[in-house]
């Protein structure tokens, strides 16, 4: 029985706080007109000396991609792709194979 009584007291106190908050928020006050919002717009920028980049731009030429003319079967297509890859690839330096001998004590 006491739980219902406490629940009713808390409920009415909550309603009272909400009502006081609502009345305080909507009360007319002639003293406060509002807050002045500052102007956040960007100022005008004028550069007196023209800006130049210290280095010249380097433009690289592109190598035209090789075109494949794939013919008839799968084997000939694989051979053509392999030939084009071998033409476009740089030689690879192979290292000498070094073998270490395992020493047992």
Specify the pTM. 0.29
Rounded Cα gap, residues 32 and 36, in angstroms: 11
pLDDT in tens, 77-97: 788 888 878 776 666 666 667
Biggest alpha carbon–alpha carbon distance for the chain: 100
Q: Residues 80, 81, 84, CA angle at the centre, nearest 5°?
A: 85
pLDDT in tens, 37-62: 778 887 777 767 666 767 777 777 77
């Amino acid at each position: 029985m006491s739980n219902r009584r406490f629940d009713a007291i808390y409920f009415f106190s909550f309603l009272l706080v909400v009502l006081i908050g609502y009345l305080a928020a909507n009360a007319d006050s002639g003293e406060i007109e509002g807050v002045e919002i500052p102007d956040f717009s960007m100022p005008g920028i004028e550069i007196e000396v023209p800006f130049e980049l210290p280095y010249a731009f380097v433009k690289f030429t592109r190598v035209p991609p090789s075109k494949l003319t794939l013919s008839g079967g799968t084997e000939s297509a694989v051979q053509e792709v392999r030939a084009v890859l071998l033409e476009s690839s740089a030689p690879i330096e192979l290292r000498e194979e070094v073998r270490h001998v395992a020493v047992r004590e």
